[in-house]
Structure 1
Amino acid sequence: MTAATVDLSLGETHWRATRKAMTRLVPLMCAIYFMSFIDRTNVALAKSALATDLGISAAAYGLGAGIFFVGYALLEVPSNLAAHRVGPRVWIARIAVTWGVLSTAMMFVQGEWSFYILRVLLGVAEAGLFPALMYMVTLWFAPKDRAVAVGWIYTAPPIALIIGNPLGAGLMQLGGIGGMHGWQWMFMLEGLPTIAVGIILFFKLPNRPSEVKWLTPQEAQTLEAHAVIDTHGDADLTSTHWFAALKRPVTVLIALVYFLNQAAFVGLYFFTPSIVGQMHVKSPLLVGLLSSCVGIGFLIGVLTLPRIHRRINNDCGFFGILTAGVVVAACTFIAARNQATQITLLGITGFFAGGILPSYWTVAMKRLQGVQAAAGLAFINMIGLLGGFVGPYLFGLAETITGRSDSGFNVVVVASVLGLCLVPLLAKAIRAAERPVPATGNGAQLKTSKS
């Protein structure tokens, strides 16, 4: 058998193994991320009811919606290092069960302070979920396949928005049954299934390719080999000195761009039901259905944009185009007066602001591996989550000042323009990181320094 024949056979084996992993592993990852988004965002539908039943103001709601991300952010890095230590399966299952319990406990909110406390605890419980999923991607998929894998995982949030808004609105109609408010029924009936999903993942979610029976030994070996070798085998990338990943300019700049994206996008989807409600839509169910427009745009974005990115070599040029799209869509929304046009523009904003998210992670994962991937990806997500706190808080302040939920679109414009300004700096940092430098050791070979 010739070397070319061997290479072709190994390539076919890797393709077949990757396809199996996409089919068997990614749906499990999508399921838990779907549940996290349902439990994280259902509070948006309860905003008006919490104001009526408990006196929670728009500013207090914005603080409570965003403060979830503070507890989440502070524990991102230690949580993902724990995932690296004990294995993603155990850690992700633990996260799901504890946050399911706390999401259910949201039914016992009595006022502003209990609202704040439970939102913080919910964030603490969920800390590390998304970077743990991204860390699993680095263990299973070669870099060229990660954009598609991450894109599929990112279908979970928009589907959660599309399904969750009408579902939550429907559950809210149970108010009065058993002496409970509709929002109490919603928190309970959407929190309990998460506990069940966490238990299922404990038994079904594998850590590495070598642990599963649905791959042959050769398929498992080639998956693990490509996941490591395609990151160029740089010893620094698998170093236990994980703190170095947090100091790299590319890592820091991606985190800052992600922060601004999340300030804009998280604020938007937490306030979309309120924005729709102020369009003189009276039916809660219709508010839920129309609010799904952001999720529809988001879903179309994550299904199409990662595949386009896969064919484009200029990562930062791609970032720039999509970020500019957010700016244009948001400015057009502010200028529009027709409600049907505004609903459409909510979806277009979701397309650009949400569709870009998988690309952030694929660019970061090119430069992080092993324990540094666990730490670096968690750091990026931690900074982004702080944006998730800032965005809803600013949206709430804007509504309090103006009396209009849609005034938060000014936050979207400002955050996106600032993100657009950072893209050239990121491009410069990537070029500097990829500049060849003299290698130490034998000979005068060159190696590429990766951020």
Structure 2
Amino acid sequence: MTTQSAGPAGNALHRIATHKAMLRLIPLMCAIYFMSYLDRTNVSLAKARLAADLGISAAAYGLGAGIFFIGYALLEVPSNLVAHRVGPRRWIARIAVTWGALSVSMMFVQGEWSFYTIRVLLGIAEAGLFPALMYMVTMWFAPQDRSVAVGWIYTAPALALVIGNPLGGAFMQMDGFGGLHGWQWLFLLEGLPTIFVGVFLWFKLPEKPSDARWLSVDEARALEARAVPDAVHPGMFSQDWVAALKRPATVLIGLIYFLNQVAFVGLVFFTPAMIQQMHVQSPLMIGVLSSSVGIGFLLGVLVLPRIHRRVTNDCLYLGVLTAGLVVSAILFISTSVLSMQLLLFVATAFFAGGVLPLYWAIAMKRLHGIQAAAGLAFINTLGLIGGFVGPYLFGLAESASGHSASGLSVVVGASILGLILVPLLAKAIQSEGRAASVAEPLLNIEP
């Protein structure tokens, strides 16, 4: 760190620059993540009409909804390497334009196989978006500010569910207008804006602090100086990042995240179907009531990370939140009262979505440099695979029972498994802490 960036004056300058970046950069990042979540989940509103108009069954829908995450997961790391090479601004803009065009092409789906094909291509096109955004966070923000930045970014998908479901429901009511089905208007009118946002970001998203016109030269230097300590060092070799993938704590965080995504993504994709089976017929009202999941998600990412600041035991807090998810899902299964079910949609999403920043906070504390690049990508890949498994299991559960709400049993099972893994994670973290405390004095010995 330079002399200029140290001391009280440097700290004050860095705080001002960080505040500016939060106000000017984070909204741009949220805008593209908002559109990505809108375009990957709007298919949930079209589920019933896809079945009626094209004969796509619940199991086929679940497979198509989840298969999006397979291509996404397989290309996550390669895509992020390209972002590192060409710059995140260019790559994020390319991702947005490509997936926006594919989202529009969903209006031309003719049956199950074309549905599967476009969903796979959509996942491939969007691969690398989230890690590219996280890569930008490491370029702009000091380690102590990153969890706050990530928390704000997570409000984008929550708002996409709150705003997007009623908006999508309104588009669905355009059925027959211009000779198109309502679901065709849905994909068209939500895919086109993504293309425009991608073009906008190409011109307006600054690559790094020194590219931002709204920062002074000293402010840009202050941001870059504080972000440098966690950057990848050229002297770190391949075995260093491979070692990160073998660490028990990394694997366990990834497995717990996988189980969370099985539960949460399945819930997101099947909530409109559950609402419809509660004898709600209006597409607009289905969209409005489905936003209850988004409301719970938004409350969770705004409240739970701030409570986490006051908690000293990460794993205990993680266990409490996971137990809360189990209880809320069991209560949902146990009641048939519509008002209670809507409240439990909020509660379930509060725990399932609000815990997401905690996974990254726990991981970032223990992964540094190139190990962070590899370990965080590995954890996210496991989560994406969970995003495939969840909707597929929900679809199988509905096909077997005839009721979409039976998918909540998947939430209960996945969450209980995650809860069982939390004590194992605590032990792994303790073991790594003891090993580090033994190694530290040896590293400090002068040669």
**TM-score with structure 2 length normalisation?**
0.94
Q: Residue 438 of structure 1 aligns with which residue?
A: 439
Distance 1:439 1:301, change over 3 A: closer
Question: Which amino acid is the alignment partner of residue 290 of structure 1?
Answer: L
Q: Residue 59 of structure 2 aligns with which residue?
A: 59
Q: Residue 11 of structure 1 aligns with which residue?
A: 11
User: What is the CA-CA distance between 1:442 and the residue it aligns to?
Assistant: 7.7
Does the Cα contact within 8 Å between 1:131 and 1:378 map onto a contact in 2? yes
Distance 1:202 1:438, change over 3 A: same
Structure 1 stretches lacking a partner, 5+ long: 446-451
User: What is the CA-CA distance between 1:437 and the residue it aligns to?
Assistant: 3.3
Question: Which amino acid is the alignment partner of residue 36 of structure 2?
Answer: S
User: What is the CA-CA distance between 1:432 and the residue it aligns to?
Assistant: 2.5
Q: Residue 194 of structure 2 aligns with which residue?
A: 194
- Answer with 14-23 or 207-216: which moved more: 207-216
Does the Cα contact within 8 Å between 2:172 and 2:284 map onto a contact in 1? no
Distance in structure 1 (CA, Å) of the matches to 2:366 and 2:43: 36
User: What is the CA-CA distance between 1:113 and the residue it aligns to?
Assistant: 0.3
Question: Which amino acid is the alignment partner of residue 8 of structure 2?
Answer: L
Question: Which amino acid is the alignment partner of residue 421 of structure 1?
Answer: I
Does the Cα contact within 8 Å between 2:174 and 2:185 map onto a contact in 1? yes
SS in 1 for 2:366: coil
Q: Residue 155 of structure 2 aligns with which residue?
A: 155
- Answer with 241-250 or 330-339: which moved more: 241-250
Distance 1:215 1:69, change over 3 A: same
Deviations 1:103-142 (A, max 9, x none): 1100000000000000000000001111111121122222
Deviations 1:37-58 (A, max 9, x none): 1100000000000000000000
Q: Residue 424 of structure 1 aligns with which residue?
A: 423
Is the aligned partner of 1:246 residue 2:245?
yes
Distance in structure 2 (CA, Å) of the matches to 1:322 and 1:55: 39
Q: Residue 309 of structure 2 aligns with which residue?
A: 310
Instruction: Write out aligned runs for 1:220-231 (5 A).
Output: 220-229=220-229, 231=230
Distance in structure 2 (CA, Å) of the matches to 1:326 and 1:135: 30
Question: Which amino acid is the alignment partner of residue 418 of structure 2?
Answer: G
Distance in structure 2 (CA, Å) of the matches to 1:319 and 1:171: 39
Question: Which amino acid is the alignment partner of residue 39 of structure 2?
Answer: D
Q: Residue 448 of structure 1 aligns with which residue?
A: none
Distance in structure 1 (CA, Å) of the matches to 2:308 and 2:235: 24
Distance in structure 2 (CA, Å) of the matches to 1:208 and 1:361: 22
Structure 2 stretches lacking a partner, 5+ long: none
Question: Which amino acid is the alignment partner of residue 161 of structure 1?
Answer: L
Q: Residue 295 of structure 2 aligns with which residue?
A: 296
Distance in structure 2 (CA, Å) of the matches to 1:427 and 1:251: 12
User: What is the CA-CA distance between 1:356 and the residue it aligns to?
Assistant: 0.7
Is the aligned partner of 1:282 residue 2:281?
yes
Distance 1:6 1:398, change over 3 A: closer
Is the aligned partner of 1:100 residue 2:122?
no
Q: Residue 25 of structure 2 aligns with which residue?
A: 25
SS in 2 for 1:318: helix
Does the Cα contact within 8 Å between 1:62 and 1:393 map onto a contact in 2? yes
Is the aligned partner of 1:273 residue 2:287?
no
Distance in structure 2 (CA, Å) of the matches to 1:234 and 1:167: 42
Distance in structure 2 (CA, Å) of the matches to 1:296 and 1:403: 27
Does the Cα contact within 8 Å between 1:334 and 1:409 map onto a contact in 2? yes
Instruction: Write out aligned runs for 1:31-180 (5 A).
Output: 31-180=31-180
Is the aligned partner of 1:404 residue 2:403?
yes
SS in 2 for 1:282: coil
- Answer with 434-443 or 81-90: which moved more: 434-443
User: What is the CA-CA distance between 1:244 and the residue it aligns to?
Assistant: 3.6
User: What is the CA-CA distance between 1:395 and the residue it aligns to?
Assistant: 0.3
Distance in structure 2 (CA, Å) of the matches to 1:117 and 1:352: 33
Does the Cα contact within 8 Å between 1:81 and 1:374 map onto a contact in 2? no
Percentage of pairs with the same residue: 67
SS in 1 for 2:438: strand
Does the Cα contact within 8 Å between 2:256 and 2:421 map onto a contact in 1? yes
Q: Residue 449 of structure 1 aligns with which residue?
A: none
Distance in structure 2 (CA, Å) of the matches to 1:237 and 1:280: 62
SS in 2 for 1:436: helix
SS in 2 for 1:313: coil
Does the Cα contact within 8 Å between 2:315 and 2:426 map onto a contact in 1? yes
Q: Residue 355 of structure 1 aligns with which residue?
A: 354
Distance in structure 2 (CA, Å) of the matches to 1:336 and 1:81: 48
Deviations 1:62-96 (A, max 9, x none): 00000011111111111112112222111111111
Deviations 1:138-194 (A, max 9, x none): 222222212211111000111101111111111111111221111011101100110
Question: What is the alpha-carbon root mean square deviation over aligned residues?
Answer: 2.1
Distance 1:234 1:267, change over 3 A: closer
User: What is the CA-CA distance between 1:392 and the residue it aligns to?
Assistant: 0.3
Distance 1:363 1:228, change over 3 A: farther
Question: Which amino acid is the alignment partner of residue 215 of structure 1?
Answer: L
User: What is the CA-CA distance between 1:375 and the residue it aligns to?
Assistant: 3.1
User: What is the CA-CA distance between 1:282 and the residue it aligns to?
Assistant: 1.8
Q: Residue 328 of structure 2 aligns with which residue?
A: 329
Distance in structure 2 (CA, Å) of the matches to 1:238 and 1:13: 31
Does the Cα contact within 8 Å between 1:64 and 1:115 map onto a contact in 2? yes
Distance in structure 2 (CA, Å) of the matches to 1:43 and 1:301: 24
User: What is the CA-CA distance between 1:237 and the residue it aligns to?
Assistant: 9.4
Distance in structure 1 (CA, Å) of the matches to 2:232 and 2:279: 58
Distance in structure 1 (CA, Å) of the matches to 2:370 and 2:356: 22
Does the Cα contact within 8 Å between 2:72 and 2:127 map onto a contact in 1? yes
User: What is the CA-CA distance between 1:441 and the residue it aligns to?
Assistant: 8.1
- Answer with 216-225 or 200-209: which moved more: 216-225
User: What is the CA-CA distance between 1:369 and the residue it aligns to?
Assistant: 4.4
Distance in structure 1 (CA, Å) of the matches to 2:183 and 2:355: 32
Does the Cα contact within 8 Å between 1:254 and 1:364 map onto a contact in 2? yes
Distance in structure 1 (CA, Å) of the matches to 2:443 and 2:388: 50
Distance in structure 1 (CA, Å) of the matches to 2:236 and 2:197: 32
Distance in structure 2 (CA, Å) of the matches to 1:234 and 1:196: 33
**TM-score with structure 1 length normalisation?**
0.93
* Matched positions, count: 441
Distance in structure 1 (CA, Å) of the matches to 2:307 and 2:215: 29
